Structure 1
Amino acid sequence: MRSISSRILIYFLTLFLPLACTDPDTNVLVSTNDILVVDGTITNLAEPQIIHLNRSKADPLTGRFGTTPVTKATVMVVVDSSLQVPCHETVDGSYQLPSDFKGQIGHAYQLRFTLDDDTQYVSSQQVMQDVPPITKVSARFNPKSLPTTQLYGYTAAHDLFLDSQDPAQQHNYYRWDWKLYERQYWCKTCRNGVYAVHKILPGVYKSDKDFTYFVAGNELYEDCFTPSPGLSQVDANAPVVPSTSWNYDYPCRTPCWEILYSSDIQVFDDRFANGNMISQQRVAQIPFYDYQPALIDVRQLSLTPDAYRYYKLFADQSQKAAGLVDVPPTALGGNVHRVANSQVQAVGYFTASAVSVVHYWLDRADRQGYAYGADPTGKHINDGDDLFFALNGRSSHPEPPPLYILDDYRETPKVKIWPYTDRPPTAPCLQSDNRTPFKPEGWRE
């Protein structure tokens, strides 16, 4: 899961930075650390099955940790000790199983991969456990839900609760997470440039009585065009490009949804409720980003006993800020180790989980006060401005539309493209971990 991988990386930055600053002896140790971080969960849902590989590595001079994706690895999942299913790298550090692959309850899964230096790693075998269904999800607005450190003091959110019947006569372990879909209206931001649907012709310009323009050709480009501010000093015919900084934001060409993930790790051992109803268990705190309705996938996942112990330890350590620097890094070694030396462990965990999911429509009808992304002065006028502000910390700034007239009271673009009759353009909604052009299952509009 993407959110778990991010959480692990953040944890290590939090863990090691104080050590590098406070203990000279530890600083030497930290400066030589090169930590491989592995995260992957095989599920029984028809969804992308992705393994994430990253490195958390200390700078040799400062000892400060940074993270980089691990690329060009050969990754596979072995099913029942026999069937080898290869993964392909989709983006740097993300390795996806075939689109028709999904796990099955009772079957065993093992991760194997080889880095580009031929170092081989293998995980312990994970047998997918069954999971009981979620029977009910409810939501309640809570103006004091979030910790004050999460959104700069803003605390309003909707708390989500679930009910589920725990099976009797068996020991079950659970993990809960969520995925939030918000309707997104802004698909591209160009910094110090403008969006170009077609490729800009090099060295070709057009002038009218007021301005000089860059000229677009017919070849598709679909990206930001960012000319150098010094271009007019090299080519006297070129338009003058300001040396100041600016952003232009471009609306989505088609319907689009932003995807936001849970960051907390919530696990549960059913010895506290064996055979009874798990009732009104809070499993999500959805920030009151904006006033629009939203869709939340509430997920209940089964865990193996070893996976539960790992995630419980990780949650206890990472969610208690006090004393983190006293926890030895080896405490978070997961179930992936080097083939040539099993004492060399990667951080993170590979597991297999059955999932029960409920697509919950959050209408936000019981909201109170201002949304996190709202402008209390009422200046937001474009669709999606509240969500844009919540995610970016600023209001959207669309490219000024034509007509372009010198000394007119209207703002004109800092970089001008010919022809301009269809400007400003829209931008495509590109599929990624954080965005999708496909209507989510359960969306009501």
Structure 2
Amino acid sequence: MRVLVIAGFIFLNSLLLTACVDRLDINLPQHTNIIVVDGILNNLPEPQLIQLNRAQTDSVTGRAGFKAITKATVEVIVDSTQVITCHETIDGRYQLPSDFRGKVGHTYQLHFKLSDGKQYLSTKQLMQPVPPIDKVTLRFSLTSLPANTGLLEEFRSGFDVVVDVQDPANQRNYYRWDWSLYEKQDWCQSCNRGYYMTNQLKMVSSYPNILIYQTQPEPSESCFEAPSPSLFGGNYTSLPVFFINSYVCRTQCWDIIPNSKINLFSDAYSNGGLIASRNVGQIPYYTENPALAEIRQSSLTADAYRYFSSVQEQTQNTGGLADGQPAALVGNVHNTANPQEKVIGYFTVGAISSVRYWLDKKDATGIAYGGTYYDPGPKVTFPVPGEQQLFFAFHRALPTVEAYLNFTILGGGIRPPTALCVPSDSRTPNRPEGWRD
């Protein structure tokens, strides 16, 4: 996922709309080197993750980037007594044991030690209860998405996510809503100037003027970029610079598209009342195909609510030239030996009420974002087939099926091969709970 940088604050991965939000690079002071913490623990049976990065600016351009913090010792302290150790799964990502679940009424505190010996500690976070979502409705609108955002090429059709919730009386509640969209994906890999290979290759001949490879038993499942003819003096055909081969999925596959905005609510002025017909998100009309939406309602602590309200103000509610430059948002994690060091991001916990909604899109009108293609050659517009719409929505180009090889392969089976659906934050080969065929 890409990262949104706003004056020293990195808008964390969990808030990004995959393939639709571009990085906003803003010049930061040179030599910026700030730790970024992203950790939200919940009570659901799913991976509980802490992510550690370091925000840095390029010494020449002043542009912001981030680097994963690896080999840290990461722990979560439960009720000030029990210490649970996390393990690093990929660079910068630390996961609690698979059977860990947060529990309402218990406190949690993040502690981590870097490889250089520096130690960091968060404030204690009490997991608050969350009421159930009473009702979820998704309503299609031609103007669901906000205008003038620069996203989706000003495309505005989408589905408004509307919920009803009965707020508990006699207690202060803070809410956050998020959504994820599961869309069926038929294309699992694209190779720029190359070809997808299920097995590794070994060159057995490059003379005279023909490259020959032998398929090896070791798996590859990745793109293989053909060598340039200039390396061998051969006369075989080289692929064009922007030529891309696309490969269909070997198994069923779903893209997971998260929301990109923070949606918060405090019951300060409506304690105990019905939160009725609240719009908690807008899901873009990517394709004409049915999809599955998961709506999540999370509880927040008061201090987490204030923090994310500030993030919301700085990332979503900026007005224009009159607005002041947003400041770096320091969270609730500090260096135990140097409290003056700035640490960005927040560690918090929250109970979640989740509803899965089958989005059949029968009420949608007009054209989906991935539903039509304009060919500038003959200057004609034509519909995109349903199985290609999600690919087109993300890439703004139609998938190109491999037509030929510019070298010879001995063995390896029929071409073109199919590609793996590789599990990630944004993709899964596992049938989502609630999916309908």
TM-score normalised by length of structure 1: 0.87
Q: Distance in 2 between matches of 1:2 and 1:127?
A: 31
SS in 2 for 1:385: helix
Q: Distance in 1 between matches of 2:405 and 2:203?
A: 19
Residue 273 of structure 1 is aligned with which of 258, 270, 290?
Answer: 270
**CA 1:350–1:95 in 2, change beyond 3 Å: closer, same or farther?**
same
Contact 2:134 2:166 in 1 (8 A): yes
Q: 1:2 to 1:188 in 2, by over 3 A?
A: closer
Distance (whole Å) between structure 1 residues aligned to residue 336 and residue 164 of structure 2:
42
Cα deviation, 1:107-162, whole Å, max 9, x if unaligned, reads 11111111222221111010100000001100111101112322111100011101
- For 2:334, the equivalent position in structure 1 comes to 337
Say if 2:107 and 2:127, in contact at 8 Å, map to a contact too.
yes
3-state SS in 2 of match to 1:134: coil
1:306-340 Cα shifts (integer Å, max 9, x gaps): 0000001110121123369724524x110011111
Q: Deviations over 1:421-441 (max 9, x none)?
A: 511111111111000111111
Q: Give the residue type in structure 1 aligned to 2:261.
A: D
Q: CA deviation at 1:2?
A: 10
In the TM superposition, residue 416 of structure 1 has moved relative to its aligned partner by 4.8
**Is the partner of 1:317 in helix, strand or coil?**
helix
Does 2:401 correspond to 1:398?
yes
Q: Aligned in 2, Cα 1:349/1:45: closer, same or farther, shift over 3 Å?
A: same
How do residues 248-397 of structure 1 correspond to structure 2 at under 5 angstroms? 248-322=245-319, 326-327=324-325, 329-330=327-328, 332-375=329-372, 377-378=381-382, 380-381=384-385, 384-397=387-400
- SS of 1:329's equivalent in the other structure is coil
**Other structure's SS at 2:355 match:** strand
Q: Is the 1:206–1:215 Cα contact (8 Å) retained in structure 2?
A: no
Alignment length, in residue pairs?
Answer: 416
Cα distance change of structure 1 residues 379 and 203 upon mapping to structure 2, 3 Å threshold: farther
1:9-408 equivalences under 5 Å are 14=24, 17=26, 20=27, 30-148=29-147, 149=149, 150-204=151-205, 213-230=212-229, 233=232, 241-242=238-239, 244-322=241-319, 326-327=324-325, 329-330=327-328, 332-375=329-372, 377-378=381-382, 380-381=384-385, 384-400=387-403
In proportion to residue count, which structure has more helix? 1
TM-score, normalised to structure 2's length? 0.88
**Deviation of 1:359 (Å):** 0.6
Note if contact 2:39-2:49 (Cα within 8 Å) is conserved in structure 1.
Answer: yes
Superposition CA RMSD, Å: 2.7
Cα distance per residue 1:73-126 (max 9 Å; x no partner): 221111111221121222222211111111011111111111222221111010
Q: Secondary structure at the match of 1:298?
A: strand
Determine whether 1:438 maps to 2:425.
no
Does the 8 Å CA contact 1:335/1:345 hold for their aligned counterparts? no
User: How far is 1:42 from its partner?
Assistant: 0.5
Show structure 1 runs of 5+ residues with no match.
21-26, 401-411
Distance 2:207 2:98 in 1: 48
The change in CA–CA distance for 1:328 and 1:151 in structure 2 (over 3 A counts) is closer
Change (3 A) 1:86 1:113: same
* Percentage of pairs with the same residue: 44
The 1:416/1:181 distance shift into structure 2, 3 A limit, reads: farther
CA distance in 1 between counterparts of 2:2 and 2:79 reads 25
